[in-house]
Structure 1
Amino acid sequence: MGVEQIPFYTPLYLVLFMIPIVIINYKMGITLNKRLIYALFRMTIQLVLVGFFLQYIFLFNNPWINTGYILFMIVAAALSTVKTCGLTIKDQFISILLGFGIPNIVMILFINQFVIGLDNIFDAQYYIPLMGMLLGNSLSGNIIGVNTFYNGLRKNERQYDYRLGLSANQWEATLPWYKEGVVACLNPMIASTETIGLVSLPGMMTGQILGGSMPMTAIVYQIVIMAAILISRYFSIHLSLLLTRKTAFDAYDRLKV
């Protein structure tokens, strides 16, 4: 049994539920309507364009094209993180790019080769969707972790300077906020992992079941992807913080504005 085909126009039915949301926000003075509508519109356009593009990528299924698309995804994630965290592209983009790229590429190739056992580890059907899930979670985690680290340093600049004054080196002086950044990055993922199956049925598992896979097969895939997300997210935030630190401080260990 395959997944039930949904006509292209039926998602428009959900607009009916947006009407009361817009009315309530307007009446209560909650200024989210423009952002909500823009976000939904942008999501729709992006997904439609990606859908058309991926059809051709899946058709050709060329390792170089597939990897090129993966690199484009990594660059987009790095740019989004740099922008959201208020970092400078000139100083921090390469650091964030490596923080995203290295853990996630290693993880996806390991999964395809040793866990799933594909003959072609660059097969677009597995390579691109799984990488999208890894990158999406690393993106949200990195934004939280990097923001927590640098905001903590800015808010506690005197405490940081005091630690330096007690002969601590840069690593020792920043360690409390470094640990806060890592914890802030991982906490939502750990909470989500703990409650899967009890509170939620995750998207990958649900999609496979809707596509006709047996529940136990879907569960095995979901365990693999959740463990991979947690691992890649952990190493990604460490690598991002370690690399961005190299250009975030001046010669006197003062945090640059």
Structure 2
Amino acid sequence: MGVQEIPFYTPFYLLIFLIPMMIINYKLEIGINKRVIYSLFRMTIQLVLVGFFLQYIFLFNNYWINSAYVLFMIGAAGLATVKSCKLSIKKQFWAIVLGFGIPNLMMILFINQFVIGLDNIFDAQYYIPLMGMLLGNSLSGNIIGINTFYTGIKQNERQYQYRLGLSANQWEATLPWYKAAIIACMNPILASTETIGLVSLPGMMTGQILGGSMPMTAIIYQIVIMGAILITRYFSIHFSILLTRKKAFDAYDRLKI
């Protein structure tokens, strides 16, 4: 049995709940109404455009086109992270892109080759959606981790300078905030992983079941993707901090951000 078709107009029924939410925000002077409207509008436009675009990508299923689209996704994730963390686009963009690209590309190709066993590891049906799931989770983790690292050093600058004064090198002096960044990055995904099946049925599994897959097949895919998300998120934050810190400090180990 296939997925139940949803008419194009029925998502607008959600406005029934959106209107009271915005009224409450207005009454309590919670200034997020404009951002809520903008976010929903932008999401809708982006998804519609991506939907049309992916139809042609899936139709052609060309190695070069698929890879170009994945690289575009990595670049977009890098740009979003740089902006959210208020880093210098000129100095840190490529460092963040590499922080995303290295672990996520290695993981998606490993999954397609050795876990799923595809004949074509660049098959758009697997390559693009799975990469999107990995990147989306790495994005949120990187934003949390990078902000925790640099904000922690900035807010505890005297403690950082004191550690340097005791003959610690930059790595040793920043180690407490580096550890805190890794923990902050990983806590949400660890909590989510621990409660899957008890609290929630995650998107990958739900989508497989709605698409007509057997529950056990959906579960196996979900285990694979959650393990991959956890691993790539962990290595992505390490790569991102290590690569951005090269230009984040001056010759005297003072934080420039």
Q: 2:227 maps to what in 1?
A: 227
Q: 1:45-84, aligned counterparts within 5 Å?
A: 45-84=45-84
> Which residue number corresponds to residue 167 of structure 1?
167
Deviation at 1:110, TM superposition (A): 0.1
- Give the match for residue 33 of structure 1: 33
Structure 1 residue 232: Cα displacement: 0.4
How many angstroms apart in 2 are the aligned matches of 1:14 and 1:5? 17
Match of 1:146 in 2: 146
Q: Deviations over 1:113-149 (max 9, x none)?
A: 0000000000000000000000000000000000000
1:21 aligns with 2:21: yes
Separation in 2, partners of 1:147, 1:172: 19
Shift of 1:248: 0.7
In structure 2, C-alpha distance between the alignment counterparts of 1:71 and 1:118, rounded to whole Å? 21
Local SS of the residue matching 2:31: coil
Structure 1: how far apart are the matches of 2:94 and 2:190?
28
Alignment map for 1:78-97 (pairs within 5 Å): 78-97=78-97
Per-residue CA deviations over 1:147-187 (Å, capped at 9, x if unaligned) read 00000000011101000000000100000000000000000
Instruction: Determine the structure 1 residue equivalent to 2:129.
Output: 129
Q: Choose 17-26 or 247-256, whichever is displaced more.
A: 17-26
Are 2:176 and 1:176 equivalent residues in the alignment? yes
TM-score (norm. length: structure 2)? 0.99
Q: 1:12 matched to which residue of 2?
A: 12
Number of positions where the alignment pairs a residue of Structure 1 with one of Structure 2? 257
Cα separation, 2, equivalents of 1:141 and 1:236: 8
Which string of whole-angstrom CA distances, capped at 9 and with x for unpartnered residues, describes residues 6-61 of structure 1? Answer: 11111111111111112222222221211111111111011000000000000000
TM-score, normalised with respect to structure 1: 0.99
Mapped partners of 1:18, 1:132: distance in 2: 27
1:237 aligns with 2:237: yes
One-letter identity of the residue aligned with 1:224: V
Q: CA RMSD in A?
A: 0.7
C-alpha distance in 2, partners of 1:245/1:217?
A: 42
Structure 2 unaligned runs (5+)?
Answer: none
Secondary structure class of the residue paired with 1:6: coil
